[in-house]
Amino acid sequence: MHRTPAGCAQVSGTHCRRPGRRPDRAGRGTPAARGAGEACPGAVLRARDAPGAAAAPPRPAPSRPVLLPPARPSPATSRPCAPRTLPAEAPASAPLAAMAQHFSLAACDVVGFDLDHTLCRYNLPESAPLIYNCFAQFLVKERGYHKELLTVTPEDWDFCCKGLALDLEDGTFIKLADDGTVLRASHGTKMMTPEALAEAYGKKEWKHFVSDTGMPCRSGKYYFYDNYFDLPGALLCARVVDSLTKHNSGQKTFDFWKDIVAGIQHNFKMSAFKENCGLYFPEIKRDPGRYLHSCPESVRKWLRQLKNAGKILLLITSSHSDYCRLLCEYILGNDFADLFDIVITNALKPGFFSHLPSQRPFWTLKNDEEQEVLPSLDKPGWYSQGNAVQLYELLKKMTGKPEPKVVYFGDSMHSDVFPARHYSNWETVLILEELRGQEGGNPEESEPLEKKGKFEEPKAKPLNTLSKKWGSFFIDSISGLENTGDSLVYTWSSKRINTYSTIAIPSIEAIAELPLDYKFTRFSSSNSKTAGYYPLVH
């Protein structure tokens, strides 16, 4: 499992751990060494059976199209950083942006996959309350927070929307436009009025948008929620702000983040899976079918097809080895290891892509425990930690090519797509469940939106892509201009997708029955901003 549902970040030099992972050695837990935070998921006792269990979020509702804005003038994506974009997000994606207009798996030598929410899909209406309760119970029982945190209504889940940022100092959540200005904001779960929004932010860039020169999604000052493991934590943190504000006479500044990190450490010490301790692992082990979706036969067949076509298959996950094994055996079968040439667990992404071999060496494994540091990666196998530099050297030897072409599938912009593109210049496929409403469409019948004389975004489905509180993940209206032609703008999340993703798909299943030489239209400066979504908008 691989993200921090409660929204984990570096706090006072402390790093959060992914399930079953041991602390970094040689002081590699610092933000500078760890890529500004590597996240992990949370969990709790079976949600509906536990005392004070959170109510399950509403089941997905039918999706509906939402208008996309006219394109705003911006630099070509061959220069992935517009002048008003975070400085850290720049150069390495330029070579791919200048390539052909299409992308094909047949042209790739190596196909790599993240595990959680990529190969392994979770049953979100069940996994979200599980994650929420894991941390809520810790805060109430171990840190003395008000027990009201344990009660969640189905309506509360509307707050959860990917693409939000939490200001860790003042407890404010914000939604950014592609130019760094604030589109919507809330203090805790309480949405700010247009008047309050204008007074607090105006038309200026958000204060952290340009000043932070590190990785843009994680900081000691803010946290971006970019995946489904995070979202229950967004709701929890917002309700913590509500609770502290109510019970502490309008508290203005907050220091609860250290307790969130403590909750992660409490539930995910390295031995938790093996010892059956903590709240998350026992529940997943007890009833995996409640929380996990098995890979359909079409996906298993597709993986074998890739293998038979001579592709090298990689599995790179930040989950620890024992949890990875449980997931893969459930979703793919006991012979899952035969599908992959190289399995890398406890990869500590995004550091896997950004760190040098001396900072993040590979480790051997025995009985799912790390054993010895490897000076180099010399042969296929199952390893722990590591780095993309030494992996690529091995791929050169395995393919016999000086520059083998690698594509990597993942669901997190922060952990998967951005670092794989930015540091390794790999092709990247973003798994975006917000597109699941588009599955079943015929891309051959679709034409560019501009030719249709209208602007649309990819159709969306909750949990939660079209929130009543936050609007669409992809686009939004500028406050005060809702009824004008210039009101619709792309979100910062949407901009990052078409800057760092080769293509974006709703699931692996959505492409599993396509021929390997199928030509996907890639995101590029010369295509429409929705061109790289598959199925195409129609």
> Cα-flanking dihedrals φ and ψ of residue 407, to 5°?
-120, 140
Same domain, 395 and 261: no
Same domain, 109 and 169: no
> Cα-flanking dihedrals φ and ψ of residue 533, to 5°?
-80, 135
Same domain, 262 and 324: no
Q: Is 331 exposed, middle or buried (0-12, 13-18, 19+ CB in 10 A)?
A: buried
Cα gap 51→53, rounded to integer Å: 5
| Beta strand ranges found along 262-336 (DSSP E) | 292-293, 312-316
Kindly state whether residue 60 falls inside one of the protein's structural domains: no
Same domain, 148 and 239: yes
Distances (CA, A) of 251 to 171, 188, 240, 254, 522: 10, 12, 11, 8, 48
pLDDT of the residue at 265: 85
Kindly state whether residue 422 falls inside one of the protein's structural domains: yes
Task: State CA 159 to chain mean position distance.
Answer: 18
Same domain, 372 and 502: yes
Same domain, 110 and 146: no
What CATH number is associated with residue 507? 3.40.50.1000
pLDDT in tens, the chain (538 residues): 444 444 343 333 333 334 444 433 333 333 333 333 343 333 322 232 333 344 445 443 333 333 344 444 333 333 333 332 333 333 344 444 445 799 999 999 999 999 999 999 999 999 999 999 999 999 999 999 999 999 999 999 999 999 999 999 899 999 999 999 999 999 999 999 999 999 999 988 898 885 443 445 556 789 999 999 889 999 999 999 999 999 987 777 889 999 998 988 888 777 789 988 778 899 999 999 999 999 999 999 999 999 999 999 999 999 999 999 999 999 999 999 999 999 999 999 999 999 999 999 999 999 999 999 999 999 999 999 999 999 999 999 999 999 999 999 999 999 999 999 999 999 999 999 988 864 443 333 333 333 333 334 444 333 555 789 999 999 998 765 555 556 789 999 999 999 999 999 999 999 999 999 999 999 988 878 889 999 975 4
pLDDT of the residue at 243: 95
For residues 348 and 38, the answer to whether their CB atoms sit within 8 Å is: yes
User: Which of 258, 285, 312 lies at the terminal end of a domain, its last residue?
Assistant: 285
Same domain, 155 and 170: yes
Same domain, 256 and 271: yes
Kindly state whether residue 46 falls inside one of the protein's structural domains: no
Cα gap 403→15, rounded to integer Å: 35
Distances (CA, A) of 476 to 178, 183, 203, 431: 10, 7, 15, 22
Kindly state whether residue 408 falls inside one of the protein's structural domains: yes
Q: Which domain holds residue 323?
A: 102-121+294-435+489-521
Same domain, 275 and 328: no
pLDDT of the residue at 269: 74
Kindly state whether residue 300 falls inside one of the protein's structural domains: yes
> Cα-flanking dihedrals φ and ψ of residue 342, to 5°?
-135, 130
Kindly state whether residue 373 falls inside one of the protein's structural domains: yes
Same domain, 227 and 342: no
User: Which of 260, 285, 310 lies at the terminal end of a domain, its last residue?
Assistant: 285
Cα gap 427→257, rounded to integer Å: 35
What's the structural domain count of the chain? 2
- Residue 321 neighbours by CB under 8 Å, 6+ apart: 20, 345, 346, 365, 368, 369, 382, 384
Kindly state whether residue 449 falls inside one of the protein's structural domains: no
Kindly state whether residue 10 falls inside one of the protein's structural domains: no
Same domain, 157 and 260: yes
Same domain, 493 and 350: yes
Task: Give catalytic residues, as residue numbers.
Answer: 114, 116
pLDDT of the residue at 525: 81
pLDDT of the residue at 42: 31
User: Which of 256, 285, 314 lies at the terminal end of a domain, its last residue?
Assistant: 285
Q: Nearest Cα to 518, choosing from 296, 294, 309?
A: 309
- pTM of the predicted structure, to 2 decimals: 0.79
Q: Nearest Cα to 151, choosing from 136, 163, 166, 141?
A: 136
